[in-house]
Amino acid sequence: MRQLRNVDLPLTVMVLFWAFNWIAVKVAFQQITPADFSAARWILMEVIVVGICLATGRSLRIEKGDLLPVLGVGFVNMGAYMVFFLLGLSQTTATEGAVILSTSPVMTYFLAVAVSQERFSLKALGGCLLAFLGVVLVVAKPSGAPHGNRLLGDGLLIGASLLMAWGSVLTRKVSKTYDPIRLFAISLPAALPALIPFVLLSPHSHWSQVQPISYLMLLHSAALSGVAAYCLFYSGIDRIGASGAMLYQNTVTAATALMAWAYFGTPVTLPQFVGIGLVVLGVGFAMRARSQANDIYRASLATDAN
C-alpha cells in the first residue's frame, strides 16, 4: 500500500485516456486511413488548444531563447512520434506494439540520467523492469495474426518508443516556463513538417462512408487522448520529471487489456491479471526509489553548498 500512495492522480486519468485510445484507433482505422486520421486529429487538437488559449487569455508567443526547444517538443511528440506510431501499428500486431512501446519509460529513464535530469538508482531501474515484466504478461496472449511487414512495423515502433522518450526529456526543459495548455498550443504547429509528407504520400479515406462511431473515436483521440492527456502528461513531467511521468506508460497496456475485455469481450487471463498487479507494484516501487534517490542528491548538494 505504501507504493500506491505515490500514484499521481492526474497521470492516472491520462492513462485511462491513452488506454482507450488503442480501442478508438482500432475502430476508426476500419474506415479512416492512418494518414487522414492523423491530419484530422491534428486539426481538431489545434482548434481546441488555440481556442482555450484565446478564451483564457493565454499568450501564444514563444519566449525569447525558447523557440528551438518548444518546436522540438511539438515536432517529436506530436509529429515524428505520431507518424512512426501509426505506420508501425498498421504493419504489426497490437501485442508486439504494446510490448515495444512499453520500453519507452526505461529509455526515458536512461536519457534523463544521461542529461542529468535524474540520479541513477538501481532500485528505480528494478521497478521499471518489474513493470515491464508485467506488461509482457498482459500482452502475452496473441491479439491477432500479423498483417503487413511485421519486421518493418516492429522497427517503426522501436523508433516511436525512442521518440516518446526523447520528447519527454525535451518537454522537461520547457515545462516550468509554459503551462501545459500553452505549451501544447505553441508547440503543435511544429508537428506539420512530419505530418504533411505522411498525409500527402498515403492513401486517403472515403469520408462519405465513414460511420458516426468512427467520428466519435476520432474525437476521443483528439480531445481526450490528445489535448487532455498530453496536458496532464506535460504537467506530470513538470511535477515529477520525465522518467517519472513516463513510468505511467507501462500502465496503459494493463488498462487497455481491461478495456478491451469490456468493449470487445476479449477475456483477461490469470497471467494477465498477475501482469497488471506487477505493473502497478513496479510503477509504485520505481516512483518511490526515484524520489528517494533525488532527495539524497539534493541533500548532498545542499551539504556541499554549506
- Condensed to tens digits (0 to 9), the pLDDT of residues 204-252 reads 999 999 999 999 999 999 999 999 998 898 888 888 777 778 778 777 8
- Total H helices, total E strands in the chain: 15, 0
Task: Give, as one character, the DSSP assignment of residue 266.
Answer: P
Residue range 151-172, pLDDT digits in tens: 787 788 888 988 988 888 888 8
Please, what is the average pLDDT of the chain? 82
45 pLDDT exceeds 80? yes
The full 3-state SS of 111-163, as one line of letters, equals HHHHCCCCCCCHHHHHHHHHHHHHHHHHCCCCCCCCCCCHHHHHHHHHHHHHH
CB 209 within 8 A of CB 27: no
Among 282, 297, 293, smallest CA distance to 7 is for 282
Q: Please, what's the b/e burial string for 30-44 (b: 16 or more CB within 10 A of its CB; e: otherwise)?
A: ebbbbbbbbbbbbeb
State percent of the chain over pLDDT 90. 30
| Per-residue confidence (pLDDT) for residue 225, from 0 to 100 | 93
Q: Is the pTM of this model over 0.85?
A: no
Q: Which three cell numbers stand for residue 175?
A: 515545462
257 pLDDT exceeds 80? no
CB 45 within 8 A of CB 35: no
Among 20, 10, 70, smallest CA distance to 224 is for 20
